[in-house]
């Protein structure tokens, strides 16, 4: 098993092939084929994990993908600690989501298609994280994007779904544009794309080039992990079936960007400007998305913006140099965000595919399991002690604070702009408040109060066991992962394990007293947000109205998502299309016009020449005489 | 001093003359349908002539002067005489489809007379012989154009052709007179020495100019070409097929002798003059052809354009100093040979359409591929070959000429040649488009034909088409033998 | 694969001649004599399969470590002009031989479905075309090459003109004249080279041309460049392509996009770069600029085409821009990428044209706004179409990605700015392809006439799958193909 990491991607690949080729003949089994294959991968990963503790493994080469001159790329597996953590998260959450989807997609006529793409996605994600070089990562990075495209557009008779799918792909492509350039520059700078060889080559590399490469690669990460301004695709991606939202757009795929930065942490550490960019983008995105989440009425969109916001926090962590913390938050977030999405799916399922919270309310009694697990997920997201989100988010804020107050030492070569980390820290606190607020706004609106749509409410029912079991498992995860993995803060199991990741830098915290103080501050922030939400939506206090008076226009700005879609879909698309139309006009009018013009000109000339031919013998004779004079004359004159 | 053995060398010409006279006699003494006997007679005569020619062909590197240097029998003349014998034979078979009894015999006899002139012309070693041969060749041709007396345009074309031809003859004889006056000899070979002695004076150039212009008329070079389309359009189609090839190639053969032999000392002047004329001919011929809707006129302009291509070879040979490596003349020989088949074949197919629709308009070719697939395919072969698309022989011919131009560092002329070839593709392809890509006009009644009832497209005509098409393809793919022959014809004759 | 190639690649029989002429020898008699439509198709299929098998044998036995030409055959053809019959393949041509071979049977299959009149003539033209195209890639004599180069025009001209759509005559004449105009100048250049070097032997010329004057090189460059650039087609010589594609029958478009366009790029590599290296150096910047324009501009124009086929045609302009870019970067990776891109585009774009043809057969329209919502009615078709759409936009693990990425690597080696602009084309490719797919296959049914449209049949699936196998193979195991090139392209990159 130890020497056979290929079994981990192979199982989902087989499931993809089986479901793709034979799924239409026996749709009933497709869901279980998918689930069991992914479960197999998960178990294989667990074995790998157990065997790999404390060892620093070399990568194993599967085959040479291409070798052209000096450009040699292999498909190879690097199974270090970082990979194993990612694999555990990916396969674990995927198993549960796939199982959940067996119930959720039961009534869907096209489910073989669904259960074809899900294992393909898992396969691609596994290959992405298991890669030992940047190009293989990029290949599957794009494949993951493809799966996202296919699953967002799963209901392809809905125009909105198709538009969202296309948008997701295109926005990701824009990110990948930067990513690809970064990879190629990295190749030309380091002469290799293997992580370890790149890390070895950092010392001799041109620092400005390293910064450029790091920034370009981060553009790719921004696309995949939905960071401003490339975040616009993620909320629209909620057009896909809810399990997809849980799996791809919350727990796994969107974390690929964070993984990328963590994986390449020596590169980023060698490029402090790039790191600062990562932190800044992350922080701004976290804030932007949180404000938008405050006003959304679609339950899945709230969660989507929340995801964007949380991803922003992960980048803040990475940008502060706390890569392990970023991964930690990635892992905990995977559990509670998958849980919340699946819970929302359970609600939507019960409400006959209604996603608007204004049609909900009072579902607590109808959906007891969903409610209970949703509360756990909500508390975890809001980072309430001692749930998973608390441990990881607290570390992010703590380390941001640390960056703001002190030099973290030699682990980061230089330390630019420590001052700005104060801004990041307070923004992070504000995000904590807002996170708790919108989470409980959502919970209250959905589960509490009176039913706003009696008819839908009457038909609502708890989901079948195949859906609730994953909820319960995930809830357990949301409850426990933080405490199990993350205690004591900054020195937990996950931190210890990740030390074995290739080249990783572990940022040491400021020590217990300061940490506790910071933890209390962030808990108070989160609790405050929670209470505000309860006050506003459960007790009916006029907080929203007050907010509107204090900050006029803000609500509209948030509701319109800071007009990002207007700029992108409106201006960007319109500009491209206008350029395209002008190009086409140029092509038909000028370029082809010249071509046809040559043809017309020769025909016109031919018509003129023809007029020489009068049919009169005298004229012909005259022509001959002229010719005679010219010939003889020029011979004699120009001899 | 005329040696008795000289007669042996002119046996082919005598046979052709005898055949012509026999045809006239046969017409006088017989009645009824003598079409096939006339054809048989002519073909037998031509066959015998060929036999005699190859029996008495001089040894490899010998050029035999006969009749006190009036005529020369060499590989060069044998090459052309072979072509002319084949051509005349094809034309007579073609004519048998077109003409009823009486005109056919006339047609055949006139052809034989013209053939005689052509055969003498390619062997002419003296200005006098050359002039007589030209007239022997040309006068029957004027009559051929006007052979269908009941058609106004036929008579008109014949009259124009004759009048202008007479004008050209006058210019030629004037030029010959000047040459004689300057050099004191009528021998082509001795002319060169005389001109060298006289030097490159305005007068030698004046004489040269006159002769070039007259020959330019015979080969239909611009601007002495104006008679061509009218004559082809007016002439009965078999006659047009013959005229478009035979006299032109024969005159080209003489011109080659004149520029490489008689006026060789003026080669540099000739080169530039011929180059300019060639360029003008290619450009004007091809451009004017675009605007034509009558296929025979179109082929007329096309033949002008091809004159231009051949002149490129002549210009090149005059340009290059190193005559040991030149390929200009063999390229003209080769081109003349393959050009004969493709143009003749095109007229033969045009005649098929003419009998079917009574029209020579290009629109009459609509849907020919469905009505008559084999002629249509053959026509496509001819058109592509005339365009110069491989693997047809026209490509190899053009390639050879181009090579001579490039070797002579006449780069601009080569470019004019290929660019005008592209222009030519436009009108040649129009015919293909009509035949293959458009459906027949329902409006054309099948029996609207004004062509005599006896003129049916029969197997012999199909054989003409097949033979010319076959030759056009074959010389393109395995043209090496012909090329070698052309080369040795030049080394054994001209040089 | 390692075991399959050995050091000894020369077979003891003239396999290239066999591959070249066997289709004609088998196919033409059967096609001419056949009494039924099916017999004609079987004849054509046998002929093209024979060629395909031989092409695969050549590829498999090709020695990837050897430099120089392999499977060389040589005989006199027209000694009077110094023209010989000389064949051979190297790393530049091997993939094109394979492509031409493999595409043959698939195009026959596609034609069987789409050609319903004058089949005899059509398949005769198709088989002739097969031979002519292969001839272009295996000849080592300049004139023989030119013969095949021009011979390709004739059947293609007939295919568009006879079996094409409404404006076929305009399109076919434009196609012929435009490409003919490009190639005749090339002929002059060929003769100028012969004048300088005294030979038509392609193998011998580069060495002989090494000392050629700058002036001659420039002229040769201009003439060759025009000929090849029109064929590729490069911006701004591309306008014949959309017309030809739109009017051509499906099989015609497949061959046109699959092989004919590659002839130009092949010409760059085989002739222009080795024979006029200094002039190429001088003009490199300009050619690269034109390639970039083609990439971006082609993609932009493709984006707004209302006609599906025109969209695919303009996408060819864009994709072939990558090919020329790769070639002129003068880096081994760039050239390798260009060759792989040629192979990839040679499979993907025929598949897309076939996909368009499948729809046109059923819906009798190619207008994008008259389609839409096909996926629920034609699920298999939608999947296959989507697959090739993704291959076209350069999705990794499919063939399009490999070539484009390698070209980009080469482009960055040449100049960073060039690489960045070229990479922009990748975004645009995704945009127009996805947008097109969204409007054609997805969404609601807009045209009620298509409500009962049948899904693809077995033969169609087979044709798609035949093309798809190569797409996946190139995408997943590109080194199978790239390794064949190295020995040759390393020398070309200098």
Instruction: Write out pLDDT tens, residues A381-398.
Output: 888 877 888 888 888 888
Choose, out of C300, C343, C386, C387, the residue to mutate when testing the contact with A (most A CBs < 10 Å). C300
The DSSP line for B66-83 is ETTTTEEESHHHHHHHHH
Nearest chain C residue to B390 by CA: give it.
Answer: C147
Interchain proximity A162–C401, CB inside 8 Å:
no
Residue C74's SS3 state is strand
Mean of per-residue pLDDT scores for chain A:
83
Nearest chain B residue to A616 by CA: give it.
Answer: B160
- Residues A303, A244 contacting (CB under 8 angstroms): no
pLDDT tens column, A553-610: 777 777 777 777 777 777 778 888 888 888 888 888 888 888 889 888 888 888 888 8
Nearest to C162 by CA among C123, C112, C132: C123
Averaged pLDDT for residues B253-266: 90
Residue A80's SS3 state is coil
Interchain proximity C81–B403, CB inside 8 Å:
yes
Averaged pLDDT for residues A40-54: 82
- Residues C265, C232 contacting (CB under 8 angstroms): yes
Structure confidence at residue B60 (pLDDT): 62
The three-state DSSP-derived secondary structure of B220-254 is CCCCCCCHHHHHHHHCCHHHHHHHCCHHHHHHHHH
B281-306 CB burial, b ≥16 within 10 A, e <16:
bbbbbbbbbbbbebbbbbbbbbbbbb
The secondary structure element, H or E, covering residue C76 is strand C70-78
Contacts of A627 in chain B (CB under 8 A): 213, 216, 222-224
Structure confidence at residue B490 (pLDDT): 85
Interchain proximity C333–A143, CB inside 8 Å:
no
Nearest chain C residue to A579 by CA: give it.
Answer: C300
pLDDT tens column, B283-318: 999 999 998 999 999 999 999 999 999 999 999 887
Interchain proximity C331–A66, CB inside 8 Å:
no
Locate tokens 């023989």: which residue? C144
Q: How far apart are CA C115 and CA B136, in angstroms?
A: 57
Contacts of A611 in chain B (CB under 8 A): none
Nearest to A93 by CA among A105, A85, A104: A85
Q: Is the pLDDT of residue C5 over 60?
A: no
- Residues A396, A316 contacting (CB under 8 angstroms): yes
Structure confidence at residue B23 (pLDDT): 92
Four-CA torsion A311, A317, A320, A321, nearest 10 degrees: -110
Partner B contacted by A619 (CB < 8 A): yes
Compute the radius of gyration of chain A from its Cα atoms.
30
Q: C75: buried, middle or exposed (CB in 10 Å: 19+, 13-18, 0-12)?
A: exposed
Shortest distance between the Cα of C127 and any Cα of chain B, in A, equals 16
Shortest distance between the Cα of C477 and any Cα of chain B, in A, equals 40
Sign of CA dihedral B25, B29, B32, B37: negative
Residue A146 CA to its chain's centroid (Å): 12
- Residues A251, A89 contacting (CB under 8 angstroms): yes
pLDDT tens column, B374-429: 899 999 999 999 999 988 999 999 999 999 998 888 889 999 999 999 999 999 99
Residue A79's SS3 state is coil
Out of A345-359, A477-491, A493-507, least confident range: A493-507
Structure confidence at residue A31 (pLDDT): 86
Residue C338: pLDDT band (50, 70, 90) is very high
- Nearest by CB: C376 against A157, A165, A180: A157
Partner C contacted by B422 (CB < 8 A): yes
- Give CA angle at C352 (C349, C355), nearest 5°: 155
Partner C contacted by B391 (CB < 8 A): yes
Q: How far apart are CA B43 and CA B33, in angstroms?
A: 17
Length of chain B equals: 495
Structure confidence at residue C8 (pLDDT): 43
Shortest distance between the Cα of A212 and any Cα of chain C, in A, equals 12
- Nearest by CB: A639 against B159, B167, B205: B205
Chain B positions contacting chain A at CB under 8 Å are 159-160, 163-164, 167-168, 171, 200, 202, 205-206, 208-210, 212-213, 216-217, 222-224, 226-227, 229-230, 269, 272-273, 276-277, 284, 287-292, 423, 426
Contacts of B407 in chain C (CB under 8 A): 191, 195
Interchain proximity A180–C401, CB inside 8 Å:
no
DSSP C117: S
Determine how many CB atoms are found less than 10 A away from the CB of residue A70: 14
The larger pLDDT score, comparing residue A213 to residue A422, is at A213
Shortest distance between the Cα of C16 and any Cα of chain A, in A, equals 27
Partner C contacted by B418 (CB < 8 A): yes
Interchain proximity C239–A595, CB inside 8 Å:
yes
Q: Which two tokens stand for residue B239?
A: 């006659």
The larger pLDDT score, comparing residue C80 to residue C268, is at C268
Mean of per-residue pLDDT scores for chain C:
90
pTM for the full predicted model: 0.91
Interchain proximity A595–C405, CB inside 8 Å:
no
How much of chain C is in helix, strand and coil states, percent to nearest 5? Answer: 75, 5, 20
Contacts of C438 in chain A (CB under 8 A): 162-163, 165-166
Q: How far apart are CA B378 and CA B352, in angstroms?
A: 12
Q: How far apart are CA A80 and CA B23, in angstroms?
A: 105
In total, the C-beta contacts within 8 angstroms joining chain A to chain C are 138
pLDDT tens column, C97-156: 999 999 999 999 999 888 888 888 899 999 999 999 999 999 999 999 999 999 999 999
ipTM score assigned to the predicted complex? 0.89
Nearest chain C residue to A592 by CA: give it.
Answer: C239
Interchain proximity A177–C416, CB inside 8 Å:
no
Structure confidence at residue C10 (pLDDT): 52
The larger pLDDT score, comparing residue C183 to residue B443, is at C183
Sign of CA dihedral B146, B152, B156, B159: positive
- Nearest by CB: B406 against C148, C161, C195: C195
Structure confidence at residue A410 (pLDDT): 41
Nearest chain A residue to C300 by CA: give it.
Answer: A580
Shortest distance between the Cα of C185 and any Cα of chain B, in A, equals 7
End-to-end CA distance of chain B: give it in Å, rounded.
Answer: 24
Interchain proximity A617–B288, CB inside 8 Å:
no
Distances (CA, A) of A269 to A180, A211, A257, A393: 21, 10, 16, 22
> Would you tell me the crossing angle of helices B127-145 and B101-123 to the nearest 10 degrees?
160
Which pairs count as long-range contacts for B175-179, CB under 8 Å and 24+ apart, including other chains?
B175/B207, B175/B208, B175/B209, B175/B210, B175/B211, B175/B213, B175/B214, B176/B127, B176/B128, B176/B131, B176/B211, B178/B203, B178/B206, B178/B207, B178/B210, B179/B127, B179/B207, B179/B211, B179/B262
């Amino acid at each position: 098993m130890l020497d056979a990491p290929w079994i981990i991607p192979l199982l989902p690949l087989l499931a993809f092939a089986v479901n793709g080729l034979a799924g239409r003949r026996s749709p009933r089994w497709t869901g279980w084929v998918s689930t069991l294959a992914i479960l197999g991968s998960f178990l294989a990963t667990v074995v790998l994990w157990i065997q790999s503790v404390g060892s620093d493994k070399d990568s194993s080469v599967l085959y040479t993908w291409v070798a052209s001159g000096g450009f040699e790329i292999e498909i190879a597996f690097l199974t270090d600690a970082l990979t194993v953590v990612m694999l555990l998260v990916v396969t674990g959450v995927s198993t549960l989501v796939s199982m959940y989807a067996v119930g959720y997609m039961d009534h869907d006529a096209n489910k073989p298609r669904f259960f074809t793409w899900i294992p393909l996605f898992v396969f691609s994600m596994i290959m992405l994280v298991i890669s030992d070089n940047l190009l293989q990562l990029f290949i599957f990075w794009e494949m993951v994007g493809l799966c996202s495209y296919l699953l967002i557009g799963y209901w392809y008779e809905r125009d909105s779904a198709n538009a969202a799918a296309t948008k997701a792909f295109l926005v990701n492509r824009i990110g990948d544009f930067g990513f690809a350039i970064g990879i190629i520059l990295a190749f030309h700078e380091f002469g290799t794309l293997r992580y370890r060889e790149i890390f070895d080559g950092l010392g001799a590399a041109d620092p400005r080039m390293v910064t450029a490469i790091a920034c370009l690669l981060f553009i790719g990460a921004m696309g995949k992990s939905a960071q401003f301004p490339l975040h616009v695709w993620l909320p629209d991606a909620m057009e896909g079936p809810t399990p997809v939202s849980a799996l791809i757009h919350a727990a796994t795929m969107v974390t690929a960007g964070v993984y990328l930065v963590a994986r390449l942490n020596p590169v980023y550490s060698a490029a402090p400007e790039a790191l600062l960019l990562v932190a800044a983008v992350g922080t701004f995105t976290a804030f932007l998305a949180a404000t938008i989440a405050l006003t959304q009425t679609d339950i899945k969109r709230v969660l989507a913006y929340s995801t964007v916001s949380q991803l922003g926090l992960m980048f803040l962590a990475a940008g502060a140099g706390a890569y392990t913390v970023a991964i930690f938050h990635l892992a905990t977030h995977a559990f509670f965000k998958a849980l919340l999405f699946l819970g929302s799916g359970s609600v939507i399922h019960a409400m006959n595919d209604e996603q608007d919270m204004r049609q909900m309310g009072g579902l607590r009694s109808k959906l007891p399991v969903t409610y209970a697990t949703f509360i756990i997920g909500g508390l975890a997201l809001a980072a309430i002690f001692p749930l998973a989100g608390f441990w990881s988010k607290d570390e992010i804020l703590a380390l941001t604070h640390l960056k703001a107050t002190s030099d973290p030492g030699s682990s980061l070569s230089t330390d630019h702009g420590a001052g700005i980390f104060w801004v990041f820290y307070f923004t992070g606190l504000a995000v904590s408040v807002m996170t708790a607020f919108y989470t409980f706004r959502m919970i209250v609106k959905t589960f509490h109060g009176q039913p706003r749509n009696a008819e839908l409410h009457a038909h609502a029912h708890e989901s079948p066991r195949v859906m609730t079991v994953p909820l319960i498992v995930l809830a357990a995860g949301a409850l426990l992962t933080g405490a199990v993995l993350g205690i004591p803060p900054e020195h937990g199991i996950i931190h210890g394990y990740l030390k074995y990741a290739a080249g990783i830098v572990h940022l040491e915290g400021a020590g217990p007293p300061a940490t506790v103080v910071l933890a209390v501050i962030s808990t108070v922030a989160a609790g405050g947000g929670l209470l505000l939400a309860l006050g506003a939506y459960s007790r009916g206090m006029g907080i929203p109205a007050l907010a509107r008076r204090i900050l006029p226009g803000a609500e509209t700005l948030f509701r319109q998502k800071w007009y990002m879609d207007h700029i992108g879909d409106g201006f960007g698309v319109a500009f491209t299309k206008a350029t395209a139309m002008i190009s086409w006009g140029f092509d038909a009018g000028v370029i082809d016009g010249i071509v046809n013009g040559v043809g017309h000109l020769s025909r016109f000339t031919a018509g003129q020449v023809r007029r020489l031919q009068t049919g009169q013998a005298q004229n012909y004779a005259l022509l001959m005489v002229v010719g005679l004079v010219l010939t003889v004359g020029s011979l004699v004159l120009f001899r | 001093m005329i040696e008795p053995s000289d007669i042996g060398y002119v046996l082919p010409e005598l046979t052709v003359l005898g055949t012509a006279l026999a045809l006239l006699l046969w017409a006088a003494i017989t009645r009824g349908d003598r079409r096939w006997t006339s054809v048989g007679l002519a073909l037998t005569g031509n066959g015998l002539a060929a036999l005699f020619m190859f029996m008495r062909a001089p040894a490899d590197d010998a050029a035999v002067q006969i009749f006190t240097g009036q005529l020369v029998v060499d590989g060069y003349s044998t090459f052309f005489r072979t072509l002319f014998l084949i051509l005349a034979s094809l034309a007579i078979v073609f004519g048998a489809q077109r003409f009823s009894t009486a005109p056919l015999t006339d047609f055949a006899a006139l052809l034989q007379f013209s053939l005689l002139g052509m055969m003498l012309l390619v062997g002419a070693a003296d200005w006098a012989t050359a002039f007589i041969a030209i007239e022997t060749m040309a006068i029957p041709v004027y009559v051929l154009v006007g052979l269908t007396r009941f058609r106004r345009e036929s008579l008109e074309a014949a009259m124009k052709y004759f009048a202008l031809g007479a004008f050209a003859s006058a210019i030629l004889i004037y030029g010959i007179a000047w040459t004689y006056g300057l050099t004191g000899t009528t021998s082509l070979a001795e002319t060169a020495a005389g001109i060298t002695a006289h030097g490159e004076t305005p007068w030698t150039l004046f004489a040269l100019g006159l002769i070039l212009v007259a020959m330019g008329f015979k080969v239909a070079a611009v601007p002495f070409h104006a008679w061509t389309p009218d004559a082809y359009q007016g002439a009965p189609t078999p006659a047009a097929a013959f005229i478009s090839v035979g006299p032109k190639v024969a005159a080209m053969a003489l011109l080659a002798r004149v520029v490489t032999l008689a006026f060789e000392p003026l080669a540099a002047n000739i080169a530039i003059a011929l180059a300019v004329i060639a360029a003008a001919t290619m450009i004007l011929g091809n451009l004017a052809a675009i605007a034509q809707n009558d296929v025979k006129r179109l082929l007329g302009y096309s033949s002008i354009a091809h004159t231009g291509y051949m002149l490129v070879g002549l210009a090149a040979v005059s340009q290059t100093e190193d005559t040991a490596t030149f390929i200009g003349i063999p390229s003209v020989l080769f081109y003349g040979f393959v050009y004969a088949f493709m143009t003749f074949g095109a007229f033969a197919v045009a005649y098929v359409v003419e009998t079917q629709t009574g029209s020579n308009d290009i629109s009459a070719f609509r849907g020919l591929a469905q009505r008559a697939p084999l002629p249509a395919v053959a026509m496509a072969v001819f058109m592509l070959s005339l365009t110069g698309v491989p693997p047809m022989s026209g490509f190899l011919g053009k390639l050879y000429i181009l090579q001579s131009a490039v070797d002579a560092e006449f780069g601009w002329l080569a470019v004019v040649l290929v660019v005008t070839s592209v222009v030519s593709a436009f009108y040649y392809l129009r015919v293909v488009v009509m035949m293959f890509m458009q459906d027949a006009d329902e409006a054309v009644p099948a029996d609207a034909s004004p062509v005599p009832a006896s003129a049916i497209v029969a197997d012999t005509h199909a054989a003409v088409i097949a033979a010319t098409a076959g030759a056009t393809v074959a010389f393109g793919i395995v043209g090496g033998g012909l090329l070698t022959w052309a080369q040795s014809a030049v080394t054994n004759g001209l040089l | 694969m390692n075991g399959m190639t050995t050091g000894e690649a020369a077979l003891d029989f003239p396999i290239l001649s066999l591959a070249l002429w066997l289709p004609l020898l088998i196919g033409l008699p059967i096609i001419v004599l056949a009494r039924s439509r099916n017999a004609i198709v079987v004849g054509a299929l046998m002929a093209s399969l024979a060629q395909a098998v031989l092409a695969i044998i050549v590829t498999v036995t090709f020695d990837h470590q050897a430099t120089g030409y392999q499977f060389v055959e040589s005989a006199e053809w027209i000694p009077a002009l110094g023209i010989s019959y000389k064949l051979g393949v190297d790393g530049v041509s091997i993939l094109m031989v394979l492509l031409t071979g493999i595409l043959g049977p698939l195009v026959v299959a596609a034609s069987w479905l789409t050609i319903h009149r004058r089949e005899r003539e059509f398949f005769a033209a198709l088989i002739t075309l097969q031979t002519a195209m292969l001839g272009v890639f295996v000849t080592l004599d300049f004139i023989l090459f030119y013969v095949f180069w021009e011979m390709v025009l004739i059947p293609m001209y007939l295919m568009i003109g006879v079996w094409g759509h409404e404006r076929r005559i305009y399109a076919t004449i434009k196609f012929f004249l435009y490409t003919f105009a490009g190639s005749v100048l090339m002929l002059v250049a060929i003769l100028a080279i012969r004048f300088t070097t005294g030979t038509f032997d392609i193998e011998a010329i580069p060495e002989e041309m090494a000392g050629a004057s700058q002036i001659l090189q420039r002229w040769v460059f201009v003439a060759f460049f025009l000929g090849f650039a029109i064929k590729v087609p490069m911006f701004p010589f591309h306008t014949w392509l959309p017309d030809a594609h739109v009017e051509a029958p499906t099989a015609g478009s497949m061959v046109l996009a699959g092989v004919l366009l590659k002839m130009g790029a092949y010409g760059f590599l085989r002739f222009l770069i080795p024979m006029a290296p200094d002039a190429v150096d001088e003009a490199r910047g300009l050619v690269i600029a034109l390639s970039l324009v083609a990439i971006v501009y082609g993609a932009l124009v493709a984006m707004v085409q209302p006609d599906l086929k025109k969209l695919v045609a303009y996408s060819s302009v864009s994709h072939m821009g990558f090919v020329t870019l790769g070639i002129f970067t003068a880096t081994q990776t760039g050239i390798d990428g260009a060759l792989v891109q040629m192979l990839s585009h040679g499979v993907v774009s025929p598949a897309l044209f076939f996909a368009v043809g499948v729809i046109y057969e059923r819906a009798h329209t190619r207008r994008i706004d008259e389609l839409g919502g096909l996926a629920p009615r034609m699920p298999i078709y939608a999947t296959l179409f989507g697959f090739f759409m993704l291959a076209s936009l350069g999705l990794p693990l499919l063939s399009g990605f490999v070539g484009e990425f390698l070209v980009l690597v080469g482009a960055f080696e040449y100049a960073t700015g060039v690489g960045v602009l070229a990479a922009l084309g990748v975004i645009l490719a995704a945009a127009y392809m996805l947008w097109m797919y969204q409007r054609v296959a997805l969404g609601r049914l807009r045209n009620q006439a298509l409500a009962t449209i049948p899904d693809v049949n077995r033969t169609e699936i087979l044709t798609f799958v035949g093309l798809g196998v190569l797409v996946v193979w190139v995408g997943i195991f590109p080194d199978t193909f790239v390794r064949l090139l190295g020995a040759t392209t390393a020398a070309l990159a200098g």
